Amino acid sequence: MERTLSYFVADVHLGLDVNDPRCREERFTSFLRSIPADRTENIFLLGDIWDFWYEYHDVVPKGYARIFAAIQDLVSAGVKVYFFPGNHDLWSYRYFEELGMRKMAQPSVVEIGGQTFCLGHGDGLGKVDGGYRFLSWVFHNRVLQALFSTIHPWLAFRFGYGWSRHNRLARAEKGVKSDYVYDSATCPLTGFAREFSSKQKVDTFVFGHYHVAVDETLPSGSRFVILKDWIHQSPYFLFDATSGLSSVLDGYSQNSEK
């Protein structure tokens, strides 16, 4: 059977202590298990699949065995699984590749079924403020990563999970109003896509990071998609190379976490 399907998903935030983390993990596992391996060519994990991930040389975060088993089954069946580090799970070094995933850097332009896609997590693209760029530099700095690795994992992971509990999703769950409202005129990622598509042909942009659902057409004619997070739904983008059709779907919208 010809492989014509490509799946795109972002911002599952596995491990984030909001709503029911176990239910979210089960939904994501079910999603992976529902993918028809004999018809699927690609799966693109567009970052922040984990809410906090940090690898030591000989230590990786515990748990997620069923998710990794589902991914390995897909890889063994011939599905290509690509992983883009997000700002929450950027500290992945070798383990995902050992499981058969292929690490990619944003923005990546790929050709699928005769169409051009520009992909990534979305953080840091476009004109973001200096504070965020400095924080990103800190997180990506190899020297600082090496220093962080000298901290015992017991302390490091508690620090990481404690930090993640202060992110926008966790604050919103506590009733704190988000300070971000999507505006296509001012969103750095939309600005990046507009400029990029004015210089290079792109049929579809697919990103995550902003935790909003966006599906619009840019002045260049490119489709621009931001996938929402998995806290209350299970959104993913599906492209069928045979028909050329694509859509944002939510196979578990009726099973929101309680």
Place of tokens 């057409």: 217
The CATH number that applies at residue 105 is 3.60.21.10
Of the CA atoms within 13 Å of residue 121, those in its CB half-sphere come to 21
Secondary structure (DSSP) of 63-101: --HHHHHHHHHHHHTT-EEEE---SSS-B--SHHHHTT-
Can you say how many angstroms the Cα of residue 112 is from the centroid of all Cα atoms in its chain? Answer: 19
Do you know the residue count of the chain? 258
At residue 217, φ and ψ (nearest 5 deg) are: -105, 130
Cut 0.85: pTM above it? yes
Q: CB count, 10 Å around CB of 8?
A: 25
Neighbour-count burial for 97-111, b at 16+ CB within 10 Å, e otherwise: eeebbeebebbeeee
The CA-CA-CA angle for residues 240, 90, 133, to 5°, reads 105
SS3 label, residue 14: strand
Q: Are 20 and 181 in contact (CB under 8 A)?
A: no
The CB density around residue 26, as the number of other CB atoms within 10 Å, is: 15
Provide the domain count of the chain.
1
For 137, residues 6+ apart whose C-beta sits below 8 A from its C-beta are none
The two structure tokens encoding residue 194:
């507009």
User: For residue 251, what are the domain limits?
Assistant: 5-255
Question: What is the Cα–Cα distance from 239 to 78, expressed in whole angstroms?
Answer: 18
How does pLDDT run along the chain (258 residues), one tens digit per residue? 799 999 999 999 998 888 888 999 999 999 999 999 999 999 999 999 999 888 877 777 778 999 999 999 999 999 999 999 998 887 888 889 999 999 999 999 999 999 999 999 999 999 888 877 777 777 777 787 777 777 877 787 777 777 666 665 655 555 545 556 899 999 999 999 999 999 999 999 999 999 999 999 999 999 999 999 998 899 999 999 999 999 999 865 434 433
Q: How far apart are CA 27 and CA 255, in angstroms?
A: 9
